[in-house]
Amino acid sequence: MHGLGNSYIYVDAFKHPLQEAWLAPLARAISNPNTGIGSDGLILILPSDEADVGMRIFNKDGSEGQSCGNGLRCVAAYVVEHEIVTAPSCTIQTKAGRTEAEVISKSEHESIVKIDMGPPLLNRRSIPMVGEEDAPVISESFPLGTHTLEVTALFMGNPHAVFFVDDIESAPLQEVGSVVTDDPRFPERVNVEFVEIIDSKEMNFRVWERGSGITEACGTGACAAVVASVLNGFADSDQDITVHLSGGDLSICWASDGHVWMTGPAEFSASGVFYWKRQ
């Protein structure tokens, strides 16, 4: 399945439980387009004692993520389609916490899903980022080699570092993304976003995801971009903002209750059997 081109292989662990020791090497093997299926990673849909279903995310390098906005939409679409839940709404437990999801509409291969992504965490301790633990990171100088950028950082299901640029097409995604994601100022690594503001209700967006590199879309990153835009005065809260990602558009709203809401598609691509030679 994929959300705006952010493609993961999904395993229904209600039917096919997997051993813990298999998960990281399986994610690396199945994500490799040369010897596997090819994807941005592996997502498990599994039973949970804390929500209707659980979800675990493994990046293509085998590292485990905390949440995935596009993955949440796909999991919600899957569990409704396969009647693991009996209503269009469900709760999903991730390592970042419990999330509410609603399938608004669906066709044969695509669903439109709305997700409550919860409130952003804005202090350094929560991102995490080195420095004064309780301080927010808003348009802060970020020396990088011979250049100094301005970063707004926050935790939105995952750690995010947002950089605003005048032209998204010339954003140094490959060069800067690969360096910032492993910068020691982010002890748990970070997702790196570049954002071009079109107006107060529209923006362009590109992303380098920790553990996966450049991807077509990142749901938590798009949410972080909207929050960062509001914090920097480029947009207002409590309104729908269209985020143009490489793979398509998401509608994001940082609501007056502090929660961030994301609406977008989830698409089924294929199903089948993967023959894995465990090393």
How far is 158 from 95, CA to CA, in rounded Å? Answer: 10
How far is 134 from 140, CA to CA, in rounded Å? Answer: 15
Residue of 74, 90, 218, 253 marked catalytic: 218
Residue 218 is a catalytic residue: yes
Which segments of 49-190 are extended strands (E)? Answer: 53-59, 64-65, 89-94, 97-106, 110-116, 137-144, 147-155, 159-164
Residue of 68, 74, 90, 253 marked catalytic: 68
Quote the DSSP letter at residue 233. T
Q: In sequence order, which ranges of the chain are alpha helices (DSSP H)? A: 23-31, 69-81, 173-180, 219-231
Report the relative pairing of strands 9-12 and 41-46 from DSSP bridges.
parallel
The answer to whether 207 and 234 have CB atoms below 8 angstroms apart is no
Question: How many helices and strands in the chain, by DSSP H and E?
Answer: 4, 18
The residues facing 190 across adjacent strands are none
Quote the DSSP letter at residue 24. H
Q: Identify the CA nearest to 133 among candidates 148, 104, 155, 116.
A: 155
Residue 253 is a catalytic residue: no
Q: Any idea which residues carry the catalytic annotation?
A: 68, 218
